Structure 1
Amino acid sequence: MTDELLVVRAQLGERAALAELVARWRLPVWTYVRRMLDAERADDVTQEIWLAVIRGLPRLREPGRFAPWLFTIARRSVTDRLRGQYAREHEAVHEALAAGDMTVDDPVDAAVDRAELVSLLSGLPMPEREILVLFYLQDLSVEDCAQICEIPTGTVKSRLNRARRLLRAHLEEKGYRP
């Protein structure tokens, strides 16, 4: 059964169709979120995504576009979580500095230390990592990636190109030769 048919059936209130959609897309959504966030936050954000999907499914006008719609929700949820984390960290640093409780380490050193602990993929800049995950790991088209990220297709192509170059350079630094 196609996603489009499952969406229509779920919109008509058929619980089994909704369960099938969730079962079919649960792992791809979690994998996308996990590649964008750490493991602790991935489960929470994935649950938020499925709640948003269940709430929004009745309003989905193009059932055949379920995958791009789903990953648009996922992207927004990841972005919201990252923005919230950044705002909390930023506020905590400023409060600690104002109170004189903290010295500021070199942010470049912190980034290098963190990069040594994470996978190659998570070492990429967020825009390039996001496009790689959507295009290669979720098998979405350039056009779908553009719709999800709300950018032109040319930007998707240039981010893919830059991400490939960055990956190649990183692998060469580690001693791998093409």
Structure 2
Amino acid sequence: MTDELLVVRAQLGERAALAELLARWQVPVWTYVRRMLDADRADDVSQEIWLAVVRGLPRLRDPERFAPWLFTIARRSVTDRLRGEYSQAEERSGAADAAVEDPAEAMVDRAALVSVLSDLPVLEREILVLFYLEDLPVEECAYICRIPAGTVKSRLNRARRLLRDHLEEKGYRP
């Protein structure tokens, strides 16, 4: 069954269709959020996202655009969380430190990449995550981020350059 059909059925009040959408998209959404935040915050933000989806699904006019709509909500939720934390941290100490290490992540082979990704500016990290890790095309990245496709391409270029520079600083050679 397609996402479009599940959305229409969920909009008509079928709980099983909503449950199927949740089951289908829960891991991709959590993975996206986790790549932008640490594990504890990812759980909280993911719950906020699904609450927004349940509330907003009846108003979704274009059911075949469910995935970009969903990731737009996820992006907005992550951005709101980061914005709130940055402002609170600035009020407390004058400097924000948004990256929090997850000790379990250090055991994973990809720990270096996760560390380097967390060092990147949010806009560049977001584009890398959407394009490479979520496998979304440039057009959907543009839709989610509400920027032109050309801006997505330039951010991808800058993000790749920054990622390469950070990896080289840590001793990795291309």
Question: Taking structure 2 as the reference length, what is the TM-score of the superposition?
Answer: 0.86
Residue 15 (str. 1) matches residue 15 (str. 2): yes
Paired with 2:11 and 2:5, the residues of 1 have a C-alpha distance of: 10
SS in structure 2 at match of 1:119: helix
- Equivalent residue for 1:30? 30
**The one of 150, 154, 159 aligned to 2:155:** 159
Q: Distance in 1 between matches of 2:135 and 2:161?
A: 20
Q: Which has the larger radius of gyration?
A: 1
1:175 deviates by 2.5
1:21-100 aligned at under 5 Å gives the runs 21-93=21-93
Give the drift of 1:168. Answer: 1.4
Q: Could you list the runs of 4 or more consecutive aligned residues of structure 1 that deviate by over 3 angstroms after TM superposition?
A: none
**Which runs of no fewer than 5 residues in structure 2 stay unpaired?**
102-111
Using the aligned pairs only, state the percent identity. Answer: 81
CA shift, 1:119, in A, is 1.4
Compare 82-91 and 41-50 and name the one that shifted more.
Answer: 82-91
- Note the 1:136-175 alignment, pairs <5 A: 136-175=132-171
Task: Determine if the alignment matches structure 1 residue 132 to structure 2 residue 117.
Answer: no
Among 119, 126, 132, the residue aligned to 1:123: 119
Q: Determine the structure 2 residue equivalent to 1:176.
A: 172
Q: Does 1:6 align with 2:6?
A: yes
> Structure 1, residues 120-164: CA drift from partner, whole Å, max 9, x if none?
211111101001111111111111111111111101001111111
Distance in 2 (alpha carbons) for counterparts of 1:78 and 1:69? 14
Secondary structure, aligned partner of 1:176: coil
TM-score after normalising by structure 1: 0.84
